[in-house]
Amino acid sequence: MTVLVFALVALAVCALLVLVHRWLWTRLVRDTTAPGGRTRRIGTALAIALPLLSVAALTTGRAGAPFWLQQTVAWPGYLWLAVLLYLTLTMLVAEPIRALSLRRLAHRDSAGAVADRPEPVEVPAAAAPAAAPATAERPAAGAGLSRRRFVARTVGGTAAAVALGTVGAGTYGVLRGPSVKRVRVPLAKLPRAAHGFRIAVVSDVHLGPVLGRAHTQRIVDTVNRTQPDLIAIVGDLVDGSVPDLGPAAEPLRRLAARHGSYFVTGNHEYFSGARQWIDHVRELGLNPLENARRELPYFDLAGVNDIQGEREGSGPDFRAALGDRDRTRAAVLLAHQPVVIHDAVRHGVDLQLSGHTHGGQLWPGNYLAELANPTVAGLERYGDTQLYVSRGAGAWGPPVRVGAPSDITVVELASFQA
């Protein structure tokens, strides 16, 4: 039954994508170019090739294709998905403008034709010409076609410029690297000596065929400049295997914090092979917290596996991580997905640090993220527990962010006793 539902949903999505591409081809290629021309042939070829590259970008990794092939199709395929989103949105907004412009044009042409029509004159039969010229209206029809094509090109060109500009700016924001966001979080149980303790929260780096070693290095440099007391990597570090992405993750070895660097799995680690990455980040000097807890000098630091691990029998175990702890001490929990906040509340956690949502990544994706997550980004309180959700330091799929800039958050803990 589940397979059938998945197949039907996939079929519906594919049908929708075909219809959208057909509509965009009509508006941006057919309506703006001459039949049989070189420009139309190029536009038609792109309308076929770009969606195929997008499908390849989404499937080659899961299909076990060589990493060089994944990298080859990833950039154009993923970028087209982002362009497609904003091109569709801008064309939907432009469609009423286009229709109104064409209606006014048709009305003007009709009014002009009536005004230019000559009054009937009686002509003697002997003086009548043998045949009237049949091409009298062709210039007007040609002019009307030219004006309609001008409207189509103006509307389509403007929509394309807006979409490409939006995606270009969003891509630059990702490749430039995450900014530093600072958040102050008071904890009632935190001792005075821990006032000002800084945790650098890094989530959703998504190393893969698009974001590689240079991106990791930017993140490491940014984190180290903040001089944190502790570094927390809260999942979705990678999209791929250790043999493919080990070199890209190598700069993590240079992360520096007085109380160490810690790691918990995200759902994408389980798509990529969680065990191999847990072992590898340990080799890089990070401390994996697999449903485990560390008693630091001022508070307990716990971490749970991601929910995706339940399919492999290694999902989150809050009792193992928090069940026997001293509840008079403050507890900070690392958990990739915000949805486990209610388990954190039941186990007396003071602060949960999460990621997963990307803040929506591509507007209006934040509205969809709100449907699946209690908090999409920022700090919120649930009973006696506070939840902070990072927007993430990378991007999944298209290396583009719109309305949800990437960040590394420095969470500064504050004591009520200070």
* Interval 28-51 mean pLDDT: 93
Check: CB of residue 281 under 8 Å from CB of residue 306.
no
- Integer Cα distance of 191 and 194 in angstroms: 6
What is the pLDDT confidence band of residue 290, given thresholds at 50, 70 and 90?
Answer: very high
pLDDT of 29 above 70:
yes
Q: How far apart are the first and last CA of the chain?
A: 58
64-84 pLDDT per residue, tens: 899 999 999 999 999 999 999
pLDDT at 139: 47
Residue 41 — very low, low, confident or very high, per pLDDT cuts 50/70/90? very high
Region 282-300 average pLDDT: 96
Neighbouring-strand partners of residue 294: 301
* pLDDT for the residue numbered 121: 54
Identify the band that residue 101 occupies on the pLDDT scale cut at 50, 70 and 90: confident
Percent of the chain predicted with pLDDT > 90: 79
Q: For residue range 385-406, what is the model confidence (pLDDT) as tens digits?
A: 999 999 999 999 999 999 999 9
**7 has pLDDT over 90:** no
Residue 293, φ and ψ in degrees, nearest 5: -140, 145
Say yes or no to pLDDT of 408 above 50.
yes
Whether the upstream peptide bond of residue 76 has omega within 30° of 0, thus cis, is: no
Q: What is the pLDDT of residue 119?
A: 58
pLDDT for 356 beyond 80: yes
Q: Give the pLDDT of residue 87.
A: 96
Regarding predicted confidence, which is higher, 353 or 95?
A: 353
- The 3-state secondary structure of the chain reads CHHHHHHHHHHHHHHHHHHHHHHHHHHHHHCCCCCCCHHHHHHHHHHHHHHHHHHHHHHCCCCCCCHHHHHHHHHHHHHHHHHHHHHHHHHHHHHHHHHHHHHHHHHHHHHHHHHHCCCCCCCCHHHCCCCCCCCCCHHHHHHHHHHHHHHHHHHHHHHHHHHHHHHHHHHHHHHHCCEEEEEEEEECCCCHHHCCCEEEEECCCCECCCCCHHHHHHHHHHHHHCCCCEEEEECCCECCCHHHHHHHHHHHHHCCCCCCEEEECCHHHHHHCHHHHHHHHHHCCCEECCCEEEECCCCEEEECCCHHHHHHCCCCCHHHHHCCCCCCCCEEEECCCHHHHHHHHHCCCCEEEECCCHHHCECCHHHHHHHHCCCCCEEEEECCEEEEECCCCCCCCCCCCECCCCEEEEEEEEECCC
Residue 77 has, within 13 A of its CA and on its CB side, a CA count of: 20
More confident residue, 383 or 101: 383
| Residue % of the chain over a pLDDT of 70 | 90
Separation in Å, CA 317 to CA 65, 262, 275? 34, 17, 17
Region of 344 on the Ramachandran plot (φ > 0 left; ψ -120 to 50 alpha; else beta): alpha
Q: Compute the average pLDDT of residues 166-186.
A: 96
**pLDDT at residue 103, rounded to an integer:** 83
Q: What is the pLDDT of residue 135?
A: 44
In this prediction, residue 4 has a pLDDT band, given cuts at 50, 70 and 90, of confident
pLDDT score for 8? 81
Distances (CA, A) of 112 to 68, 118, 142: 61, 12, 14
- pLDDT confidence of residue 132: 45
Report the pLDDT averaged over residues 322-338: 95
The band of 42, judged by pLDDT with boundaries at 50, 70 and 90, is very high
342 pLDDT higher than 60: yes
Q: Rounded to two decimals, what is the model's pTM?
A: 0.88
Alpha-carbon distances of 150 from 154, 156, 285, 311, 410, rounded to whole Å: 6, 10, 61, 56, 52
For the segment 124-157, what is each residue's pLDDT rounded down to a tens digit? 555 445 444 444 444 455 665 688 888 899 999 9
- Dihedral of CA atoms 127, 129, 130, 131 in degrees, nearest 10, equals -160
Cα(222)–Cα(177) distance, integer angstroms: 9
Pairing label, strands 198-202, 407-415: antiparallel
pLDDT of residue 66: 95
For 85, 199, 366, the CA distances from 227, given in Å and listed in that order, are 39, 9, 31
Does position 113 have pLDDT exceeding 70, yes or no?
A: no
Query: Cα(300)–Cα(306) distance, rounded to whole angstroms?
Result: 19
Rounded Cα–Cα distance for residues 17 and 358 (Å) = 24
Is the pLDDT at 258 greater than 80? The verdict is: yes
Nearest CA-CA partner of 357 in 401, 316, 317:
401
Poorest-pLDDT segment among 91-95, 97-101, 140-144, 247-251: 140-144
Q: Average pLDDT over the chain, rounded to whole?
A: 90
Distance of CA 136 to the CA centre of its chain: 56
